[in-house]
Structure 1
Amino acid sequence: MRTMLSAAGFLAAAILTTTAAQAEDLVFTLTNGTNSVLTRFYTSPVGVDDWEEDVFGKDVLGPGESVQLTIADGRTVCEYDMRFEFDEDSNLDTTEDSQNLCELGSYTIHE
């Protein structure tokens, strides 16, 4: 009986560890390699039709600046669509791109 309980406890711990590892937050560095202020940044897993909330909130990312971002959406995906919006005085258009952010670890937006 004790062996069965130990085995059951080990199995439960293994399942919980696997689940926690699969739902880790995605952390990456975003760098603004443009000459314009990046005012809004949206992400959404590839295949999802709606954008998540603006990651920056009230903050902005100036030219040449970098920021470490965390996507804590509880998903286990790595492929994300990204949308970049610039200051209204900028000559840059809204830009969209898709990348595997787990593999990259960092992303630089260029003009």
Structure 2
Amino acid sequence: MQFRLWTAVGAVVVSSLVLAGAANAENRKVKIINETSSDLDQFYASNVGSADWEEDILGDDQVPAGGSVTINMDDGSGYCKFDFKGVFVDDSEATVEGIDVCEVGVVRFTE
């Protein structure tokens, strides 16, 4: 089984991805960018207080190679830190833990 690399981009990027101020602390939207050669078939996210993966956020949709999707990670729990899992059409997987979605605006899948 192949594994893919995640790159979290947020506070280190000097751009509009970095949000300032208390009002923006509640913004939990994350742009997922698929920079691989394989379509992203399933995407799971669970706050760090959860012991299980939630449902596949993409449902019947996919994020094509080179494509992106923006997801509102606000699950009503108040958590900012989430674990992510991506499953690709070639059966490879990528997981990352503890992404602060209140600070990080972009997560990239790379090969």
Q: TM-score, normalising length from structure 2? A: 0.70
Higher strand residue share: 2
Extract unaligned runs of 5+ from structure 1. Answer: 1-20
Q: Percent identity?
A: 35
Q: Which moved more, 1:67-76 or 1:35-44?
A: 67-76
CA distance in 1, matches of 2:74, 2:32: 16
Aligned residue in 2 for 1:80? 82
Instruction: Name the one with the larger helix percent.
Output: 1
When residues 105 and 25 of structure 1 are mapped into structure 2, their CA distance, relative to the original with a 3 A threshold, is closer
**Unaligned 5+ residue runs, structure 2?**
1-22
Decide whether the 8 Å contact of 1:46 with 1:80 is kept in 2: yes
**Which of structures 1 and 2 has the larger relative contact order (alpha carbons within 8 angstroms, sep 6+)?**
2
Which of 24, 28, 31 in structure 1 is aligned with 2:30? 28
Distance in 1, matches of 2:93 and 2:30, equals 21
Q: After TM superposition, which residue ranges in structure 1, 4 or more long, deviate above 3 angstroms?
A: none
* Count of aligned pairs between the two proteins: 87
TM-score by structure 1 length?
0.70
Instruction: Determine which structure has more spread, i.e. the larger CA radius of gyration.
Output: 1
User: In structure 2, the residue corresponding to 1:53 is in which secondary structure?
Assistant: coil
Partner Cα separation in structure 2 for residue 67 and residue 39 of structure 1: 12
Aligned counterpart, 1:96 = 95
